Amino acid sequence: MCGIVGIRDAGGVSFSIYYALYALQHRGQESAGISTFDGTRLFKHKGQGLVAEVFDSAILESLEGNVGIGHVRYPTTGANRPENAQPFNFAFRDHTISIAHNGNLVNSRQLRDEYECRGQIFCSTTDTELIAKVITEEMSNSGCIEDAVHRCMRVLRGSYSVVMMIDGVLYGFRDPLGIKPLCLGRTQKGLIIASESVAVDALGGTFLRDVAPGELICIDGEGMRSMQIARASRRAHCIFEYIYFARADAVLDGALVYDVRLRIGAKLHEEAPVQADSVCPVPDSGTAYAVGYSARSGIPFMESLLKNRYMGRTFIMSTQNERERAVRIKLNPIRKHLENGAVVLVDDSIVRGTTSRRIIGIMREAGAREIHVRIGSPSIVAPCYLGVDMPTREELIAHRRDEEEVRRHITATSLHHVTIDALVESIGIGRENLCMGCLTGTYPVDIPGEVSSPVAVDFLDGTYQTRLEKFGTGKE
Ligand code: 5GP
Ligand code: MG
């Protein structure tokens, strides 16, 4: 899981990329980086930590040029290595390339082996470097970016939303299934490609549209060109983006995330009504769901857990022990709201069950009599191979446990997860166009040892449909 952005705009882009990355910070807190191009030279700065820790204004001023890309990286267990921070910059022949990626390839081991057998070397363990290899190899053969992206879409299996800069031309493309989000916006004098629309908002820009699955966007001094490189028979948008990852104020593939969560909250009440004194969210991820539940049930919304906003997401802690202590620092119960009361506690998901159990413990200590837990996602029963950093099957609380066993484990008075049907209806995108691998154990791409129902992909060989959209004056 990561956040990516690419901007072309007159008058320098480093500050704009910085603000956009700030807006995407929730998608990754391990490292941040920016590369820019000034017409001849590539500049870059990246480091471990939050956007605000990695950059200051002197650094941003040194990143010259009207085009650039940026990245925030999500901490995946065990791979917290400085050399994995993106974007990556390469020189090949007379070209410079800078690339950043969000997603996860499921055949990277195999592809890497093929390259290594041919004597190629890698300096990181990222999929991004592999994608750059595929691109540069094909560019060397045919000299054509369309062919290079076509090659990517043929050989890469998994999820990939990519922003890339070659000799100052900005590119963005999204895997043919559209697993991870990517959208387009207009800034004052230019264009932006970003993981979520909130990055466009942060710049005071105008959201234009999502990048289509299998589409390649190319932005240069002329304007923007769009090419449909591949077309899949259906899409596989990640449901976890709606449930947890994306910001509630983002619009993803046509759906406002806040509205999706409100609708799920209402469904939670319809599916499992209960008498209670208040509806309390687990902040912040459960808030929109709780608002929806309260509105539909008529039970007052009341915050009874207050979040310390200066603390990062608990999953950043790498050991179980650290994670448990973190919950205590992060959330403080309001005794007066809870004492002797029956509470509907609403959260987005239960993954390992650790946080939920701790939170319920804290609320009981604070005097809550009944705690009815309502969860905005169905039970997560299988791992994600396509970009969400989920634990293995064994660590998933709902693996081999039914809802009643999970309820007992987390010590809730009652427990209900929203049904898959209600989730799909709330998102408003047909079930066939969603990836629900973590809920069903069936994946939209072939994964060795797992059940899959792979999506057929057509390639529009040789003749890419090109559309030119002018921009750049800011006057239209
Ligand atoms: P659990 O009870 O499974 O230990 O934790 C559930 C909580 O973890 C929920 O509040 C949910 O918002 C959060 N969560 C779910 N998935 C992720 C994730 O991928 N990263 C982080 N940081 N938190 C997550
Ligand atoms: Mg949460």
Q: How far is residue 353 from each of residues 140, 217, 280, 343, 356, measured CA to CA in Å?
A: 50, 41, 18, 19, 5
- List residues bridging with 109 in a β-sheet: none
pLDDT of residue 74: 87
- Alpha carbon nearest to ligand 1 atom 12, residue: 285
| CATH number for the domain formed by residue range(s) 257-431 | 3.40.50.2020
d(CA 316, CA 326) in angstroms, rounded, equals: 10
- Domain-wise residue ranges, the chain: 3-236+457-466, 257-431
pLDDT in tens, 153-182: 999 999 999 999 999 999 999 999 999 999
CA of residue 91 to ligand 2 center, whole Å: 42
pLDDT of residue 476: 35
d(CA 22, CA 47) in angstroms, rounded, equals: 15
In contact, 276 and 344? CB cutoff 8 Å: yes
CA of residue 143 to ligand 2 center, whole Å: 47
Distance of CA 263 to the CA centre of its chain: 21
The encoded tokens of residue 447 equal 């994964």
**2 flagged as catalytic:** yes
- Alpha carbon nearest to ligand 1 atom 5, residue: 355
Residue labelled with tokens 């002197």: 58
Instruction: Give the closest residue to 381 by CA, choosing from 345, 357, 353.
Output: 353
**10-residue mean pLDDT series, the chain (476 residues):** 95 97 95 96 95 97 98 74 88 92 95 94 91 93 90 96 97 98 95 98 97 97 93 97 97 96 98 98 96 98 92 59 74 95 98 93 96 98 91 92 97 98 97 97 95 90 67 42
Q: Does domain 3-236+457-466 have CATH number 3.30.565.60?
A: no
pLDDT of residue 140: 87
Provide the H-helix boundaries in 244-369: 257-271, 287-297, 320-330, 335-338, 354-365
369-380 burial, b if ≥16 CB within 10 A, otherwise e? Answer: ebbbbbbbbbbb
Check if 349 has its Cβ closer than 6 Å to any atom of ligand 1.
Answer: yes
Check if 323 has its Cβ closer than 6 Å to any atom of ligand 1.
Answer: no
pLDDT of residue 474: 39
pLDDT of residue 309: 83
Check if 352 has its Cβ closer than 6 Å to any atom of ligand 1.
Answer: yes
Check if 399 has its Cβ closer than 6 Å to any atom of ligand 1.
Answer: no
Check if 351 has its Cβ closer than 6 Å to any atom of ligand 1.
Answer: yes
With 0-12 / 13-18 / 19 or more C-beta atoms within 10 angstroms meaning exposed / middle / buried, residue 470 is exposed
pLDDT of residue 322: 72
Please state the pTM of the whole predicted model: 0.94
Give the position, in ligand 1's atom list, of the atom nearest the Cα of 347.
10
With 0-12 / 13-18 / 19 or more C-beta atoms within 10 angstroms meaning exposed / middle / buried, residue 228 is middle
pLDDT of residue 475: 36
